Each structure stands twice: as C-alpha cells, then as structure tokens.
C-alpha cells in the first residue's frame, strides 16, 4: 500500500479533529502531512510541529499549553504532535485531548498525533481516528530511487545502469523506511562507477544490516538449492506444484496464493534447511522472525515489535517469512494463558495468517507439538502440515552424497549403500557431523577420506534418536493422523 493520503484526507474533510498516525518514519510522515495541508488549505494554512524538546519549535515545550494553542489559534491548518505517547498517563493531557476533540469538531483544524506504536488510553480512544501507515510501496520506492540516483551519481555513471537494475534495487529496498532507503542507496552509490549486479549485491547487504538492526527480523541471504536437501520428496513435490504460484499469471488463472506450511519434527532432520530451500526455489526473499527477540522487550512492547516486524514483512512481499520454533512464541513457561502478551500476539498472528492481504508465504517450524494450541492446526491457517522424521535408508544415502559433495569429495568413490545401511537412526545433521569428523580424522592421519573412516565416525555418534526415543515416538504418534509425511 502506498502512503494513505486519500484516507487521511477523507478523515480531515469529514471533520475528525484528532488523527493518530502509527509509523516510525517521522520525517516521511511529517513531509506528507505538510504537503497535504498545502493541498487542502493552500498557503494560508498553518503547519506546526510539536516535540517534547522543542515545543512548537519555539522552545515552549509544555504539552498542555501547546494543545491549548492548537485549539485557540484562529488560522486553519494542521498541528502535528510527536512524543505525545510519553504523556498519555497524565490526566491533564487526557482532559485536554477530550476538550480539543469537542472544540475542534467543526473547525478547519486537525491535530495529528504521530507515534511508532498504538498506545491509546481507553478514555480517549473514541476521540481518535487511528491510521496505520505502511512502509513505502514499490511505486514510492521507485520515486525515491529515481531521485537519489539523479541527485547523487554523475551522469556518466547513470548511463551505465543495466536494464534490470532499477527493478532489482527497488525489490532489494522493499521493507525499509523511506529514510533508510535513501541512506542505503546513497551508501551503495558512493564512488561506484557502474550500476549493475555488484551494486544490487551491496544494496542487499545494506538492507540485511538495517533489518537486523531493527531487532526481530533477519534478512537471510544464504541460499540453499533444493538439490542440497536429501529426501523429503513429498515436500519437494508440494513445492514444485506451487512454484509459479506467486506469479501474476497464477492469480489470473484463479489460483490462491499459498499461505504457508508448518514443518514439525525431529531436530536435525532438515526443517530449517527446508525453509531456506523454499525461498531459493521460489526465488523470493527470506525473512526470519525471532520470536524470542519479540518477547525480549528490547524492541518495545512485544505487540509493537511484532506489528513492526509484520509491516516490514508485508512491504517486502512477495517473500517468505520463516518463523523458527513457533511453539516457543506461543507458550512461554511461567505465563498464565488469557490476556498475556503471548496470547495477544498469537491471536493477532492467527488473524493475520487467515486474512493476509499480501503474498507472504509463512514457513513455520516446531519441535514440541504438545505446546501448540489446536487453533494453529486448523485448516485454513497453514496449507499443509508436514512431519519430518528420521531419514530412511534411501534418504541417508542421498544425505551422505550431498555432504560429501559439499566438501569437494566425489560421492562415487564411496560405498553409499553400505554407509546408508549402517547408519540407521542418524539424523541429517548427525550424518553431516559424521562426514565432518571423518574428514578431520583422515586429514590428521595424512590420508584420503574413505568408507572405513566414515563408518567409524558415524558409529561414535550417540544419536538423538537413542537419547530421546520416548519423545520421538510420542511425536510420531501425534503426527500419524495430523500431519503429512515429508518423506515418501
């Protein structure tokens, strides 16, 4: 969605005296409101901005007085208040807001409250129209791109622009705020002599860092080819059937955009690997949400942090959102159910999953199914629930092949069948571990890696399937009639 200019204008014209804008992009919102005021009232309209340090830029920082001023002043126009959220526990401020609501109802004046999160006390909830401001969409990003490239690169460099460059750059920038986009672009462009693949790569790196800084999301750049995932044929088939589902042709054909899948199962069998492989296979950006960070309160209240993350994800659409260990976010030890942040976020998440207006494919993973509430498993939320269990013999063979290949060894010089036969009970991660430690062993002995060394390494691993036999059979029983097997 673009900047909601029309929506805000409609509220203004309908005489709403107080409009609460939710955004962490102060500069972008301030500029937009300012030019909206110009459009509506022309040059005679006033535009004043209040902040807790500068007041109306005249040093008078008292909020009560500032609200009075906004109400009393004769000129029409807009009053934009920042930082008000810090004062909403003051009864005098609440009173002033209620008064302002009454007095400004029929006047050509609007008070805007700008805050990065929604925290409106019940007392004044009815008095405010709340408008959530999305991050810049593709067309707005395109304009920012044009402006920055024109302003900050010499013409000779602009002429080197490859045909795909603008689209790739705009894609890379989606999910950032307008100011962040400008800075990322300027940093990427500085001193560059050519606008091509390298610049796109640099821009993606800038974005990864900016997204990481915001705390709860990680823009995952590592790509995993689906051929590097051993076994799990049913998942692969499912993905293959839907690989074009995010194209506009698919929409025209009448296909629903896939919502997401839930991968459950035994640790080390390829859940995280699959999440990366899906994004790679569909050629979509991958954003990982860290629920532990959401709940840490290091990035504001859990609700605000979660909503902010969702905004970034939606602006990046089409994309894959990867939520690892979703059960950790849903049920937290020591917390009663009911009106806790976790249950509120979970409720918000379920609604969002169901009503998602953006092409965001959710890949959630879970290890502890008994912590998952039944609502999440209901049809309509995830398209499919896959159960990933220990690899069978054929799959182990493939996993050995993949990890030998990954480390530059030719799989043909090993007896893969016998390796697979002799490693029952090992997970993919354990097979990889066996390959790694066998390599160390043979290197230290000054000889080439061989079957014997691999078998020795594999047999010295105490597999999770032994130490956690109970849990695994419980998981398998649970999954038998609730989930689709990931393997054939």
Ligand X SMILES: Nc1ncnc2c1ncn2[C@@H]1O[C@H](COP(=O)(O)OP(=O)(O)OP(=O)(O)O)[C@@H](O)[C@H]1O
Summarize as ranges the residues that interact with ligand X (CB under 6 A): 229-232, 267-273, 367, 399, 402, 428-429, 432
Helices (H) and strands (E) in the chain, counts: 23, 12
* Cβ closest to ligand X, residue 268 vs residue 318: 268
Closest approach, Cβ 364 to Mg ion, in A, equals 11
By CB under 5 A, is residue 427 in contact with Mg ion? Answer: no
* Cβ closest to ligand X, residue 66 vs residue 429: 429
Residue 224 interacts with, from Mg ion, ligand X, none (CB under 5-8 Å by kind): none
Distance separating alpha carbons of residues 140 and 408, to the nearest angstrom: 46
CA neighbours within 13 Å on the CB side: how many for 62?
6
Tokens of 216: 């709860």
- CB-based contacts of 322, cutoff 8 Å, min separation 6: 220, 275, 276, 279, 286, 287, 288, 289, 362, 363, 364, 365
Closest approach, Cβ 240 to Mg ion, in A, equals 23
Residue 269 interacts with, from Mg ion, ligand X, none (CB under 5-8 Å by kind): ligand X
Closest approach, Cβ 273 to ligand X, in A, equals 3
Closest approach, Cβ 266 to ligand X, in A, equals 7
Using CB atoms, what's the residue nearest to Mg ion?
Answer: 272
* Cβ closest to ligand X, residue 26 vs residue 432: 432
Residue 429 interacts with, from ligand X, Mg ion, none (CB under 5-8 Å by kind): ligand X
Distance separating alpha carbons of residues 463 and 276, to the nearest angstrom: 25
Choices 265-273, 394-402, 428-436, 443-451 (CB under 5 A): range interacting with Mg ion: 265-273
By CB under 5 A, is residue 272 in contact with Mg ion? Answer: yes
* Cβ closest to ligand X, residue 25 vs residue 432: 432
Q: Which long-range contacts (CB under 8 A, 24 or more apart) does 250-258 make?
A: 257/359, 257/361, 258/361, 258/383
Closest approach, Cβ 291 to ligand X, in A, equals 14
Closest approach, Cβ 403 to ligand X, in A, equals 7
Using CB atoms, what's the residue nearest to ligand X?
Answer: 428
User: What length is written for the chain?
Assistant: 488
Total Cβ atoms within 10 A of residue 33: 23
Residue 175 interacts with, from ligand X, Mg ion, none (CB under 5-8 Å by kind): none
Per DSSP, the residues of 450-479 read -HHHHHHHHHT---HHHHTHHHHHHHHHHH
Closest approach, Cβ 24 to ligand X, in A, equals 31
* Cβ closest to ligand X, residue 247 vs residue 406: 406
Q: Are 328 and 291 in contact (CB under 8 A)?
A: yes
- CB-based contacts of 385, cutoff 8 Å, min separation 6: 261, 262, 264, 377, 482, 483, 484
Closest approach, Cβ 275 to ligand X, in A, equals 8
* Cβ closest to Mg ion, residue 230 vs residue 300: 230
* Cβ closest to Mg ion, residue 271 vs residue 401: 271
3-class DSSP assignment, residue 177: coil
Closest approach, Cβ 201 to ligand X, in A, equals 24
- Judged by CB under 5 A, the number of residues near Mg ion is 2
Residue 153 interacts with, from Mg ion, ligand X, none (CB under 5-8 Å by kind): none
Q: Cα 65–67–69 angle (5° rounding)?
A: 70
Q: Per DSSP, which regions of 53-207 are E strands? A: 77-82, 109-115, 129-132
Closest approach, Cβ 399 to ligand X, in A, equals 5
Distance separating alpha carbons of residues 73 and 48, to the nearest angstrom: 11
Choices 116-124, 272-280, 327-335, 409-417 (CB under 5 A): range interacting with Mg ion: 272-280
Distance separating alpha carbons of residues 296 and 306, to the nearest angstrom: 11
* Cβ closest to Mg ion, residue 271 vs residue 288: 271
Q: Are 319 and 229 in contact (CB under 8 A)?
A: no
* Cβ closest to Mg ion, residue 153 vs residue 363: 363
Give the H/E segment covering residue 358: none
Distance separating alpha carbons of residues 128 and 110, to the nearest angstrom: 11
Distance separating alpha carbons of residues 288 and 15, to the nearest angstrom: 42
Residue 432 interacts with, from Mg ion, ligand X, none (CB under 5-8 Å by kind): ligand X
Residue 483 interacts with, from Mg ion, ligand X, none (CB under 5-8 Å by kind): none
Distance separating alpha carbons of residues 319 and 246, to the nearest angstrom: 9
* Cβ closest to ligand X, residue 189 vs residue 486: 486
Residue 487 interacts with, from Mg ion, ligand X, none (CB under 5-8 Å by kind): none
Closest approach, Cβ 394 to ligand X, in A, equals 12
* Cβ closest to ligand X, residue 175 vs residue 270: 270
Interacting residues with Mg ion (CB under 5 A): 271-272
């Amino acid at each position: 969605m673009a900047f909601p200019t029309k929506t805000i204008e409609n509220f203004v014209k309908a005489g709403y005296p107080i409009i609460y804008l939710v955004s962490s992009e102060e500069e972008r919102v301030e500029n937009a409101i300012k030019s909206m005021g110009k459009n509506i009232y022309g040059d005679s309209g006033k535009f004043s901005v209040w902040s807790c340090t500068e007041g109306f830029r005249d040093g008078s920082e008292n909020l009560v007085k500032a609200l009075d001023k906004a109400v009393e002043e004769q000129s029409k126009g807009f009053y934009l208040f920042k930082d008000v959220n810090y004062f909403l526990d003051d009864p005098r401020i609440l009173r002033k807001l209620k008064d302002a609501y009454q007095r400004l109802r029929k006047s050509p004046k609007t008070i805007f409250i700008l805050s990065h999160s929604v925290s409106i006390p019940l007392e004044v909830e009815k008095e405010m129209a709340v408008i959530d401001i999305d991050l810049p969409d593709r067309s707005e990003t395109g304009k920012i791109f044009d402006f920055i490239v024109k302003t900050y690169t010499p013409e000779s460099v602009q002429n080197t622009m490859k045909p795909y460059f603008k689209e790739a750059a705009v894609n890379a920038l989606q999910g950032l705020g307008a100011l962040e986009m400008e800075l990322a672009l300027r940093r990427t462009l500085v001193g560059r002599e050519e606008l091509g693949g390298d610049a796109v790569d640099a821009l993606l790196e800038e974005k990864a860092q900016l997204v990481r800084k915001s705390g709860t999301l990680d823009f995952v750049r590592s790509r995993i080819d689906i051929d590097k995932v051993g076994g799990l044929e049913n998942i692969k088939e499912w993905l293959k059937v839907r690989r074009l589902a995010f194209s506009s042709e698919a929409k025209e054909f009448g296909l629903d955009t896939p919502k997401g899948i839930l991968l459950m199962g035994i640790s080390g069998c390829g859940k995280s690997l699959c999440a990366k492989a899906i994004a790679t296979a569909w050629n979509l950006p991958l954003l990982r949400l860290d629920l532990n960070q959401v709940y840490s309160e290091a990035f504001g209240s859990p609700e605000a942090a979660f909503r902010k993350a969702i905004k970034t994800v939606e602006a990046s659409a089409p994309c894959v959102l990867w939520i690892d260990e979703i059960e950790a976010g849903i049920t937290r030890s020591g917390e009663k159910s009911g009106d806790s942040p976790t249950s509120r976020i979970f409720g918000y998440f379920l609604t969002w999953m169901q009503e998602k207006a953006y092409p965001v494919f959710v890949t959630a993973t879970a290890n502890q199914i008994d912590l998952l509430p039944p609502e999440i498993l209901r049809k309509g939320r995830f398209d499919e629930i896959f159960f990933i269990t220990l690899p069978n013999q054929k799959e182990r063979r493939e996993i050995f092949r993949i990890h030998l290949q990954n480390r530059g060894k030719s799989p043909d010089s090993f007896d893969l069948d016998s390796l697979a036969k002799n490693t029952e009970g090992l997970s993919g991660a354990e097979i990889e571990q066996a390959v790694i430690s066998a390599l160390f062993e043979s290197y230290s002995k000054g000889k080439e890696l061989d079957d014997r060394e691999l078998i020795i390494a594999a047999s010295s691993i105490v597999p999770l399937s032994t130490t956690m036999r109970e849990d695994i059979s419980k998981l398998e029983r649970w999954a038998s009639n609730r989930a689709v097997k990931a393997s054939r």
